[in-house]
Copies of this chain bind each other. A is one copy, B any other.
């Protein structure tokens, strides 16, 4: 592992109350920074005190959105270690996102070394609570000043850490979702497969509309026919129909979630049939009428598993699993968080102990 230069924060902050962490509201004492220039490539990764960054108002990220990011977590295990969950997959996806947005790729191993060094530096910030964790946000922004529309020649990579509470302070429970007919998240050939700022900007409006109607998330349909299911909020989505588990295929507009992949592999290891295919919203509602829609849940780093209890499409609303958390959802949640927290075996080698 390469030695990474550290400039220690001489004025550490006081830590927030563990009960009030929420998500992404507090940040630790340090951050990892690394700059890119056309001459030097990515150079000089460094751990420095967490603090504001200074950019020219013409920095390209403010105008043309050249940005990619990742989301991952560090967990305290029952026996006092600290683990990451499939961090190689996040490093790899960061580079895949960068490729789409014309951002120069980073050395995945070097970046992961830097992230591990950063988490070790700020290990006192990893919360103790049963389902809390240290959220890790690597991101890259185009910093070159100038208004020409083209790929920048200067970038800044940063990794910031945020102690985050349980996604479900009162235990895992189902959400209600709203099938979005007007707004579209992404279309094949667009940026839907990349973790990039613009995809999220695009979704905020629809999220607000759904919330105004009392639903907590949006179910996105495909941009071409507005017929097939893509994602829910910023999660991938799974359904259990007549005993079979189905999830939208990675058609070119869906983010290849790491939790999605973990869920598929776990389910298969339990003997379930998992099919990646097109799923129309019509099929879902028909299955609900026929009594064969047994479960629905979202998957993502933040919530891990987010059971879906209600779904609204046009004027019709259906209830799934009687509005409760389904059996598969619960088992997946317990298993993945159990692996992450080191209380269960790790048959796939997903856990990476870093401390």
Contact = CB atoms under 8 A, between A and B. Distances in A.
A66 B198 CA distance: 8
Interface string A219-254: 000011010000001100000000000000000000
A204 B200 CA distance: 18
A66 B151 CA distance: 20
Contacts of A187: 184, 187, 190, 223-224
Contacts of A162: 58, 147
A125 to B, nearest CB: 15
A187 B62 CA distance: 23
A204 B137 contact: no
A13 interface: no
A57 B158 contact: yes
A189 interface: yes
Interface size class of A (residues with CB under 8 A): 35 or more
A213 to B, nearest CB: 16
Interface stretch (A22-30, A35-43, A87-95): A22-30
A184 B183 CA distance: 16
Nearest to A25: B146
A27 B205 contact: no
Contact of A204 (B101, B189, B233): B101
Interface in A306-346: none
Given A54-B53, A147-B135, A65 B63 contact: no
